């Protein structure tokens, strides 16, 4: 099952993030492990839902039209960095910066399945027992893993926040691509199938269930 962890986990190398095809990276992040290590507490979750933000031509992206502000400048850094952004004044959204310097691609992690450190996640989210709401939705993923805007700009090659491969590869037939969520302001780009999910996984966010 998805929550089995192999002993040998391998941190993804810089070369994974610096590739040009952000859609491919978003798809390949499905099934990978997102690991955080704060205060000596390790929490791990398997990624089951991602969204790609495709640079300056993507109306849904913060970097649309080459916009560069104090908030989003980390998107213009080299691949392999974190970009954490506060939404609605409350929710911390965790993104992975991809491609090379000056090319602002990013992948939003929208949902994950808890693997290790579940007691810590429960404490952070003030929940009594784990259920499918623990890490469903981008705001909840960050909360459970203890990620906040303070962690924006971190390198995924360090040991604080990183993404690892434990050899798990989702079935090709279990991967679906769909339009993105919550980007109605993006005009025609709303329709782009830039969201990748693992089919039938209870942690995937969205309208149904």
Partner DNA sequence: CTGACGATTCACT
Partner DNA sequence: GTGAATCGTCAGC
- Residues in contact with DNA by CB under 7 A are 51, 53, 60-62, 67, 69-72, 75, 83, 85-91, 93, 95, 106, 108, 133, 137-140, 149, 181-183, 185, 205, 207
**Min dist. Cβ of residue 7 to DNA (A):** 31
Name the residue nearer to DNA (CB basis): 151 or 166. 151
CB of 1 to DNA, least distance (A): 24
For the chain, helix (H) and strand (E) counts, in that order, are 4, 9
- 4: its two tokens: 């089995």
In terms of CB distance, is 25 or 166 closer to DNA? 25
Rounded to a whole number of angstroms, the minimum distance from the CB of residue 53 to DNA is 5
CA distance to 43, 52, 97, 117, 161, per residue, from 24 (Å): 26, 9, 14, 29, 22
CB of 166 to DNA, least distance (A): 25
Tokens at 205, concatenated: 């966010």
Q: Which residue lies nearer to DNA by CB, 13 or 187?
A: 187
Q: At what angle do helices 118-125 and 138-145 cross, to 10 degrees?
A: 110
- Helix, strand and coil content of the chain, in percent to the nearest 5, comes to 25, 30, 45
Which CB, 44 or 205, lies closer to DNA?
205
> How many of the other CB atoms lie within 10 Å of CB of 69?
9
CB-nearer residue toward DNA: 72 or 166: 72
Pairing of strands 33-38, 10-11: unpaired
How far is Cα 98 from Cα 89, in angstroms, rounded to an integer? 25
């Amino acid at each position: 099952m998805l929550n089995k962890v192999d002993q040998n986990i391998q941190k993804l190398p810089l070369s994974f993030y610096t590739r040009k095809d952000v859609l491919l990276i978003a798809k390949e992040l499905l099934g990978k492990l997102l690991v955080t290590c704060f205060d000596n507490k390790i929490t791990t979750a398997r990624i089951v839902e991602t969204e790609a933000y495709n640079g300056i031509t993507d109306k849904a992206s913060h970097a649309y039209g080459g916009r560069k502000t104090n908030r989003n400048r980390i998107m213009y850094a080299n691949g392999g960095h974190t970009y954490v952004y506060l939404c609605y004044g409350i929710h911390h959204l965790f993104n992975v910066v991809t491609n090379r310097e000056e090319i602002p691609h990013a992948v939003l992690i929208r949902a994950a399945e808890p693997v290790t450190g579940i007691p810590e996640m429960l404490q952070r989210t003030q929940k009594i027992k784990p259920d499918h709401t623990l890490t469903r939705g981008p705001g909840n993923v960050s909360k459970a893993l203890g990620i906040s805007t303070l962690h924006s700009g971190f390198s995924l090659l360090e040991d604080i926040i990183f993404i690892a491969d434990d050899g798990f590869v989702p079935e090709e037939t279990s991967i679906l691509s769909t339009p993105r969520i919550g980007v109605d302001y993006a005009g025609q780009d709303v329709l782009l199938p830039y969201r990748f999910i693992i089919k039938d996984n209870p942690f995937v966010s969205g309208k149904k269930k």
